[in-house]
Amino acid sequence: MKIEITVNGRKRQFDVEPNKLLLNLVRDELHLTGTKYGCGIGECGACTVHLDGEAVLACMVLAVDADGKQVDTIEGVAEDGNLDPVQEAFIEEGAIQCGFCTPGFIMTTKALLKENPNPTEHEIREYLKGNYCRCTGYVNIINAVQSAAKKLQS
């Protein structure tokens, strides 16, 4: 099936089978491998992308269902070679260890801060509960989100 998706601001045409997942389209056809395949069943959040601005799991969306929509991945977050404040905050706060979960966390954090520029710790934990980090725990990640919120407000 012929579809058109705007990926990170660029319109792209694809010819896909109906059973192709958005995640595999992004990773295999566009080679945007920042979005990770973790569990495949909606538990881990590693495949989080924005679909028309909302954080969703790319492993649960059919590529054909994204026809005509806007998909934003981690690769589209930095602008002109400059990291996004959320990315900077994750680095500065040491919120990254192996890095596998980080793209998902950053995409979810961006959605959170767009909705709620100044979240409490409880709100951050609640919003990020669908993203798993198996390296180090969540303290630095929470710190990074708080620091990103401050950066974006200043």
Partner 1 sequence: MSINKVNTHIIPMEFQYHAPTTLAEASALLEKYGDEAKILAGGTDLIPHMKQRKVEATHVINIKKIPELACIKETSKGIEIGANTKLRAIELSPLIKEKTPLLSEAAATVGSVQIRNLGTVGGNICNASPSADMATPLLALDTVVNVYNREGSKDYTLEEFLHGRGEVKLEPGELLTGMTIPLQPKNAGMAFEKVGWTTFDIATVNVAAVLTLKDGKIDHCRVTLGACSPAPVRVYQAESILIGEEPTQELFDEAVYLIAACVEPRESWRRAPPEYRRKASQALAIDALTRSIEKARRLA
Site residues for partner 1 per CB under 8 A: 1, 17-19, 21, 24, 37, 39-43, 45, 48, 51, 54-57, 59-62, 64-65, 108, 111-112, 127, 129-131
Cβ 145 vs Cβ 89: under 8 Å: yes
| Cβ closest to partner 1, residue 52 vs residue 91 | 52
Tell me the three state secondary structure of residue 52: coil
Residue 5: burial class (beta carbons within 10 Å; 0-12, 13-18, 19+) = buried
Instruction: State the Cα–Cα distance between residues 154 and 80, nearest whole angstrom.
Output: 21
| Cβ closest to partner 1, residue 7 vs residue 61 | 61
| Cβ closest to partner 1, residue 92 vs residue 125 | 125
73 φ, ψ to 5°?
A: -115, 175
The residue with tokens 């900077």 is 88
Shortest distance (Å) from residue 27 CB to partner 1: 10
Shortest distance (Å) from residue 136 CB to partner 1: 19
Tell me the three state secondary structure of residue 35: coil
Shortest distance (Å) from residue 14 CB to partner 1: 14
Residue 124 DSSP label: H
Shortest distance (Å) from residue 127 CB to partner 1: 6
